[in-house]
Amino acid sequence: MTSFTMASFPSPKSKTGTLFVGFLFLLLSYFVVMDILVYQSLQTMDLVKQDHMGGYSPFRPLSVKLLMLDHMDHYVYIPLAELVFTIFEPTGIYFILTPNVISFTGLFLGFVAGKFVSMESLYHRRIGVLIFEYRMWLDVLDGVVFRHTSGNPVYKSHRTTLGFFIDVDCDIISGVALAFGCLFYLWKCPPLIQPRDLLLPISKPFLNTTVNGHCSDSPGKNNGTHNKATKNYIFLKCLVFGGVIMLATTTWDNMLQLYSDVLQTPMETSVQEERQWEALHSGVTWLSMWLWRFCEAQTLLHLLQLAIVTDKIWEFLNFIQFAGFVALAMLNLFSYIQIRHMRSMLTIYDS
């Protein structure tokens, strides 16, 4: 993972590369500080009995969903969306700009971003990333608008509403559009195959063995004959990434529901309430929910966009095809054991 990360950044020798690395360092530092502050705020909080009055704060009120949400959404997009909603709410614009309208607008931008990402020019691909990041912010905004206009201030998934399914479908289709943009770009500029890419025997039938050169924004010399990935092999890599995203989405949503049932559901007895408080403030519980921030589908899409910006799409796909499934399997097992332990503490048994 270290080699991929270091290789992904633009050269620090260039001014742009230095600014980019500096920006990422500041952003990661901001996330670390906010995580510490959220953890401290959680220690004095009961997720069941919270005051939801007043303006928005990333620290209060909290919910299981916020604690498991990716850093970008929780600390950047949600505060910005809350600010924008507060500014424009007096105008009455949200009677026209409904959550569903925002969702469909984001869907349209997802297709536009996919088109830009499919282009050979790195400059245009980076524009596509900016468009898709704006689409991801709109995805947060539609949730903010829904919560305020429907009188449901708690950050949780309202699965019984039509808007929830529209939002989820728009998110999935937009993610597919971005993935197809990467696929079409790699088809236009097939990457060279390195020995480390041939870890599985099924790799060999997908290779061209007599193709020279490679596609890039600036032409370069190429000595000798190299293997290039065929369209089928590239499609297989993108399909595997889609599998990682689908598994992350499904398991994150499942674990969110399980944690919410234990930590954000009123208990019947005072003993259960005390044990629920103990379970919520356990370091193991915080660690489990915090780790899900890195395995959430939104985080994986952010990482894919980082790979697009740094022109390392192929390297990222090779890395995530194994690391993604392994990380999700280990985290699911860890979380399942933790939830079983908390349910046993609270004497909650399956009916």
pLDDT in tens, 305-334: 999 999 999 999 999 989 999 999 999 999
What's the CATH number of domain 2-345, 1.20.120.1760, 1.10.760.10, 1.10.10.10, 3.20.20.70?
1.20.120.1760
C-alpha–C-alpha distance, residues 207 and 209, integer Å: 6
Domain definitions of the chain by residue range: 2-345
C-alpha–C-alpha distance, residues 256 and 269, integer Å: 24
- Whole-model pTM: value is 0.84
Q: For 230-252, what is the mean pLDDT?
A: 93
Q: Scanning the structure block, which residue is given the tokens 């929910």?
A: 289
Q: For 128-156, what is the mean pLDDT?
A: 86
Quick one: what percent of the chain has pLDDT higher than 90? 60
C-alpha–C-alpha distance, residues 243 and 125, integer Å: 23
Q: pLDDT category, 41, cuts 50, 70, 90? A: very high
Q: Scanning the structure block, which residue is given the tokens 């860890």?
A: 334
Q: Where are the alpha helices (DSSP H) in 118-203?
A: 122-150, 162-188
Phi, psi angles (nearest 5°) of residue 228: -115, 145
Strand partners, 207: 229
Q: Note the pLDDT of residue 323.
A: 93
Checking if the pLDDT of 143 tops 80, the result is: yes
Q: pLDDT category, 229, cuts 50, 70, 90? A: confident
Q: pLDDT category, 216, cuts 50, 70, 90? A: very low
Q: Note the pLDDT of residue 16.
A: 78
Q: Note the pLDDT of residue 3.
A: 42
Q: Scanning the structure block, which residue is given the tokens 């004497």?
A: 347
pLDDT in tens, 82-111: 999 989 988 889 888 888 999 999 999 999
Contacts of residue 66, Cβ cutoff 8 Å, sequence gap at least 6: 58, 74, 155
More confident residue, 348 or 87: 87
What SS3 class is residue 58?
Answer: coil
Q: Note the pLDDT of residue 167.
A: 86
pLDDT in tens, 113-131: 999 999 999 999 999 999 9
Sign of the torsion formed by the C-alpha atoms of 145, 149, 152 and 157: negative
Q: Note the pLDDT of residue 193.
A: 77
Q: Give me the count of residues in the chain.
A: 351
Q: Note the pLDDT of residue 283.
A: 92
Q: pLDDT category, 217, cuts 50, 70, 90? A: very low
Q: Note the pLDDT of residue 160.
A: 65
